[in-house]
Structure 1
């Protein structure tokens, strides 16, 4: 996944109103940028942090620049643009980088369910493999010592997605929750039971019923972001 043009560096002044952030560019100019992350961004929005921005070609946008990357105090690069996780995983699936899902060659995005909800990816039955549904969640919450967790705030929507996957499993489908780790300091992933115990409980029950949980780490640079190696999941 290539960035749209050369990223511009700066330093974070503050993030506010969920979708906005003030940044001072290397030139000294202070600007307001779009923050494409609705989560708590714990540990990823510290004032003074080094950040990188992309510029939109859409002249109608109120804020032309989007916050893409951040460098943590420990020196780890983080992609805070959570919506990019699905595109990253899609590229990885098509390129065969998700070894756990090898064998599936056709992937449909935003598969609509009978309930009206949508699951991020769907693959039809192929070569003796059952149909497969994959839901993607981005992980940036660093709990220390290389442990990452999801979610970073209470999320009823995330719990609902798990329940929908569990229902599909009961119908005979293969169901997968894939954590896309967008934080280079994270080496393993768990459910954030200290933040959302309901989600952790729902996830544990779904795993017992056959849900597969995978984690893959993004390799991030100022030129591109590529899905890399799998990481351990500790539930």
Structure 2
């Protein structure tokens, strides 16, 4: 069977989908704040006994959780801060999330993305204009979907794969675009020890606090600014 056979091309994406379904069924409720609280001493002990290996394992777990869209990614991010502090914890979180995002991106692009992008290139009318508009403003659009809190992370991984975004642009925009959110939640995780001691729960809605939310909106506006400038100058090809 040739490697170009449609089934083989879609196999990575099929495995991802099956993994998502299995994870949603088997791990529901497992990745939680309560689980982290109950295993805090064991996790700290493992980190102290094997610091380098624990970092590698953590990044690998984060990458797989991202690739398979396992519920509870925020808890994993908090764990990164809890175990490794805000820095280098944020760096480990960003690395794991980026690797997982690339895995999902490549699976989607290999399975469907290349063909969808090719069909959009040869299409006519509004579909073609939308594709050309995305191509003309890729950097802005990629950063925008990373910075806007309302865009689910797995959606931001799939859309670029389906419109033919180059891998290097996806990697750079992902790694840099998730920095603000990663730093915020990692810093929350770094303070979990005190939260555990007083029997409380972390404030996961902190990203919507004015001090955090409005800077993110500002960054989003900067990301979309080049598109607005093109429109003002009359160079936007979607018109």
TM over 0.5: no
Q: Determine which structure has greater relative contact order: mean sequence separation of CA pairs < 8 Å that are 6+ residues apart, divided by chain length.
A: 2
Higher helix proportion (structure 1 or 2): 2
TM-score by length of 1: 0.28
Higher strand proportion (structure 1 or 2): 1
TM-score by length of 2: 0.28
Q: Which has the larger radius of gyration?
A: 2
